C-alpha cells in the first residue's frame, strides 16, 4: 500500500490524488483537535487549491483526505497555505506550497454549547439546563443541536451528520449554565457559557470514557462515538520485542495540600481540606480559594476535591514506544494486531511489572525530501503532558494518573 493525499472540497468530494513531498500528522489526539502540515510541489493543480479572501486569509476551498497505507484514514481541514520558492544546494529551483491546519474535530472546538441551540445567541437566556442520559446520547444530542439543526443557520456545517445513537457508555450529566450578572453575590454563579462542544465531550468522557470521531462517508462528514478497547493482553510494548525504547518516572512536590476555602455557607464559611503531606510542617503548602459566591454544598465539596487534586504531587511515567511488524497503529489484519487512539495498551516495565494506559495521541510522518524515503509512526501512551496545561476540570484525571504511576513506582521499588 501507499500513502495517498486527495484534495477534499467543501461538498466533501474527493479529487484526484496529488503528488506530495512531506506529510506530518502532528498529532492526532484522543478527544482533542489534531494538527497537520502538508508540503506539496507548487504545480498548477496545487495552486488551484489556493484561494484567498480580500483580507488575505485562505478561504475554506479545500481540505485533504489522507489514506495511510490502507490501515488508517483521516479528513483534514486546511487553514493556511504558505507558498515559497528557493534555490537548493544543487542550484535547482524548488517551489512548494505548505498547507497547515487541523483535523475536522476543530469544527466542534469552534462551536460553543448554547443553552438553547434552537435560537440565536442574542435570544439566549440566563439559567441552567441539565442534560442527562447515556454518554453517547448526551454527546450526540448536543452536537446535533449545535451543528446540524442549529437555529442560527450560520452555525450549521453543510454535509455534516451524526450517526444513529446506540446509547453506549454510562449514565452522565452535563449542565449548561449562563449566569445572571444581576444576581445577588451570594447566589451560585457557575457558568459554562464559554464551553465548546469539545469541552462538553471531554467533560462527558470523564464521567464515562467514550471517544469521538469524524469520518468521510458517502460524500458527507459523519460524527460518531466509540468505546475504547482494552487491548492490554494483545498490545504489549516491551524491550524484549523491540517496541519499548525507554521509560522513566518523575516525581514532583505538591504545590498545594492545605486548601483554605472561603464560601457563602452560613454554618461553616471557612473550611480547610487536606491532601497528602498537609499535616507535615516540612511539606505543608497552603492555598486560599475564594468560593464566597457559593452556597451549594455539592459545589463546595467538588471545588475542595478539585483543588486538592490540582495541587497534589504529580508523578508521571514517560514511555517511548514504537510499532513492530505484528503490532501497529491502525486496523487489524491477518496476523497483525492493530490499535487505535483511545485504546488501553500495556508496557512491560520490568519482569513481572506491567504499566497500562491509554493511547492518547499518535504522530504520523512521511518524508520524500531526505533522499531515502522516511515513514514513522510515534504513538503516545498516557497523558503525561496533560498536567502542564490542564484545564481546572482535568484535576481529577491528573490525580488518577498520578495515583497509577505512584503504584507502579512502588512495585518497582519493592523488587
pLDDT at residue 397, rounded to an integer: 52
Which residue in 56, 55, 157, 154 sits closest to 104, CA to CA?
157
Q: Say if residue 393's pLDDT is above 50.
A: no
pLDDT at residue 190, rounded to an integer: 64
Looking at the fold, whether 94 and 36 belong to one and the same domain comes out as yes
Domain boundary pick from 226, 247, 272? 226
User: Residue 189: which pLDDT band, with cuts at 50, 70 and 90?
Assistant: low
Mean of the pLDDT values across residues 100-123? 96
Alpha carbons 105 and 139: distance in angstroms, whole number: 14
Highest mean pLDDT among 3-17, 57-71, 77-91, 346-360: 3-17
pLDDT at residue 386, rounded to an integer: 41
DSSP string covering 305-364, please? HHHHHHHSPP-EEEEEE--BTTEEES--BTTBEEE-TT-EEEEEEETTEEEEEEEEEEEE
Query: pLDDT tens digit string along 231-249?
Result: 999 999 999 899 999 888 7
In angstroms, the Cα distances linking 376 to 140, 263, 269, 324, 411 are: 34, 52, 56, 11, 33
pLDDT at residue 411, rounded to an integer: 55
Burial label, 108 (beta-carbon count in 10 A; 0-12, 13-18, 19+): buried
Q: Which residues pair with 32 in a beta bridge?
A: 29
Three-state DSSP class for residue 26: strand
Has residue 375 been placed in a domain? no
Has residue 208 been placed in a domain? yes
Is 351 or 170 the better-scoring residue by pLDDT? 170
Alpha carbons 213 and 222: distance in angstroms, whole number: 8
Task: For the chain, give the mean pLDDT.
Answer: 87
Mean of the pLDDT values across residues 129-146? 97
Range of weakest confidence among 109-123, 125-139, 297-311, 336-350:
297-311
Looking at the fold, whether 15 and 88 belong to one and the same domain comes out as yes
Q: Say if residue 362's pLDDT is above 80.
A: yes
Q: Say if residue 409's pLDDT is above 60.
A: no
Has residue 350 been placed in a domain? no
Looking at the fold, whether 130 and 201 belong to one and the same domain comes out as yes
Looking at the fold, whether 215 and 288 belong to one and the same domain comes out as no
Has residue 272 been placed in a domain? yes
User: Residue 176: which pLDDT band, with cuts at 50, 70 and 90?
Assistant: very high
pLDDT at residue 404, rounded to an integer: 53
Looking at the fold, whether 98 and 130 belong to one and the same domain comes out as no
Q: Say if residue 250's pLDDT is above 50.
A: yes
User: Residue 258: which pLDDT band, with cuts at 50, 70 and 90?
Assistant: very high
71 and 2 Cβ atoms separated by less than 8 Å: no
Q: Say if residue 154's pLDDT is above 80.
A: yes
Looking at the fold, whether 132 and 222 belong to one and the same domain comes out as yes
Q: Say if residue 261's pLDDT is above 80.
A: yes
Alpha carbons 30 and 342: distance in angstroms, whole number: 6
Domain boundary pick from 56, 82, 103? 103
Looking at the fold, whether 209 and 288 belong to one and the same domain comes out as no
User: Residue 50: which pLDDT band, with cuts at 50, 70 and 90?
Assistant: confident
Predicted TM-score (pTM) of the model is: 0.81
User: Residue 388: which pLDDT band, with cuts at 50, 70 and 90?
Assistant: very low
pLDDT at residue 60, rounded to an integer: 60
Q: How many domains does the chain have?
A: 3
Mean of the pLDDT values across residues 28-47? 94
Has residue 222 been placed in a domain? yes
User: Residue 29: which pLDDT band, with cuts at 50, 70 and 90?
Assistant: very high
pLDDT at residue 413, rounded to an integer: 47
In angstroms, the Cα distances linking 51 to 40, 116, 185 are: 16, 35, 51
DSSP annotation of 154 reads: G
Give the largest Cα separation in the chain, rounded. 80
Cell numbers of 368, please? 520524500
Looking at the fold, whether 99 and 116 belong to one and the same domain comes out as no
Domain boundary pick from 77, 103, 129? 103
Q: Percent of the chain having pLDDT more than 70?
A: 88
Containing structural domain, residue 198: 109-226
Alpha carbons 190 and 182: distance in angstroms, whole number: 14
pLDDT at residue 125, rounded to an integer: 93
φ/ψ of residue 405, rounded to 5? -70, -40
For residue 245, the number of C-alpha atoms closer than 13 Å in the C-beta half-sphere is 9
Looking at the fold, whether 221 and 114 belong to one and the same domain comes out as yes
Alpha carbons 9 and 31: distance in angstroms, whole number: 25
Looking at the fold, whether 11 and 99 belong to one and the same domain comes out as yes
Burial label, 366 (beta-carbon count in 10 A; 0-12, 13-18, 19+): buried
Which residue in 355, 370, 327, 366 sits closest to 412, CA to CA?
355
Size of the chain, expressed as the number of residues it contains: 415
Is 206 or 410 the better-scoring residue by pLDDT? 206
Range of weakest confidence among 248-257, 258-267, 320-329, 366-375:
248-257
Looking at the fold, whether 64 and 22 belong to one and the same domain comes out as yes
Mean of the pLDDT values across residues 305-312? 84
Alpha carbons 53 and 75: distance in angstroms, whole number: 23
Has residue 60 been placed in a domain? yes
Has residue 85 been placed in a domain? yes
Has residue 195 been placed in a domain? yes
Highest mean pLDDT among 45-59, 210-224, 382-396, 398-412: 210-224
Residue whose entry in the numeric block shows the C-alpha cell 514511555: 319
Looking at the fold, whether 91 and 118 belong to one and the same domain comes out as no
pLDDT at residue 237, rounded to an integer: 94
Amino acid at each position: 500500500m501507499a500513502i495517498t493525499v486527495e484534495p477534499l472540497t467543501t461538498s466533501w468530494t474527493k479529487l484526484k490524488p496529488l503528488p506530495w513531498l512531506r506529510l506530518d500528522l502532528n498529532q492526532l489526539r484522543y478527544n482533542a483537535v489534531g494538527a497537520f502540515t502538508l508540503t506539496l510541489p507548487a504545480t498548477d493543480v496545487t495552486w488551484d487549491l489556493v484561494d484567498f479572501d480580500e483580507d488575505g486569509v485562505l478561504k475554506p476551498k479545500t481540505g485533504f483526505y489522507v489514506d495511510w497505507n490502507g490501515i488508517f484514514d483521516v479528513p483534514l481541514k486546511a487553514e493556511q497555505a504558505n507558498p515559497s520558492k528557493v534555490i537548493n544546494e544543487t542550484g535547482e529551483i524548488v517551489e512548494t506550497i505548505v498547507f497547515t491546519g487541523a483535523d475536522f474535530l476543530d469544527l466542534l472546538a469552534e462551536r460553543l454549547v448554547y443553552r438553547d441551540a434552537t435560537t440565536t445567541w442574542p435570544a439566549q437566556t440566563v439559567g441552567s439546563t441539565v442534560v442527562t442520559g447515556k454518554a453517547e446520547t448526551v454527546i450526540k444530542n448536543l452536537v446535533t443541536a449545535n451543528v446540524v439543526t442549529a437555529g442560527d443557520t450560520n452555525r450549521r456545517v453543510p454535509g455534516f451528520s451524526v450517526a444513529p445513537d446506540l446509547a453506549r457508555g454510562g449514565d452522565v450529566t452535563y449542565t449548561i449554565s449562563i449566569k445572571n450578572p444581576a444576581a445577588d453575590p451570594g447566589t451560585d454563579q457557575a457558568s459554562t457559557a464559554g464551553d465548546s462542544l469539545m469541552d462538553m465531550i471531554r467533560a462527558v468522557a470523564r464521567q464515562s470514557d467514550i471517544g469521538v470521531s469524524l469520518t468521510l462517508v458517502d460524500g458527507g462528514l459523519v460524527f460518531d462515538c466509540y468505546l475504547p478497547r482494552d487491548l492490554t493482553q494483545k498490545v504489549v510494548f516491551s524491550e524484549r520485542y523491540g517496541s519499548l525504547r525507554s521509560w522513566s518516572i518523575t516525581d514532583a512536590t505538591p504545590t498545594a495540600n492545605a486548601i483554605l476555602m472561603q464560601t457563602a455557607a452560613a454554618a461553616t464559611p471557612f473550611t480547610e481540606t487536606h491532601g497528602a503531606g498537609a499535616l507535615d510542617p516540612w511539606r505543608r503548602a497552603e492555598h486560599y480559594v475564594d468560593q464566597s459566591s457559593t452556597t451549594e454544598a455539592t459545589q463546595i465539596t467538588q471545588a475542595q476535591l478539585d483543588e486538592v487534586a490540582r495541587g497534589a504531587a504529580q508523578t508521571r511515567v514517560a514511555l517511548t514506544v514504537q510499532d513492530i511488524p505484528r503490532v501497529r497503529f491502525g486496523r487489524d489484519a491477518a496476523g497483525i494486531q492493530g490499535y487505535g487512539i483511545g485504546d488501553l495498551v500495556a508496557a512491560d516495565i520490568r519482569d513481572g511489572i506491567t504499566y497500562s494506559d491509554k493511547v492518547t495521541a499518535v504522530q504520523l510522518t512521511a518524508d520524500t525530501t531526505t533522499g531515502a524515503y522516511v515513514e514513522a509512526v510515534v504513538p503516545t501512551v498516557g497523558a503525561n503532558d496533560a498536567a502542564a496545561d490542564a484545564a481546572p476540570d482535568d484535576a481529577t484525571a491528573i490525580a488518577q494518573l498520578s495515583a497509577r504511576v505512584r503504584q507502579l513506582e512502588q512495585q518497582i521499588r519493592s523488587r
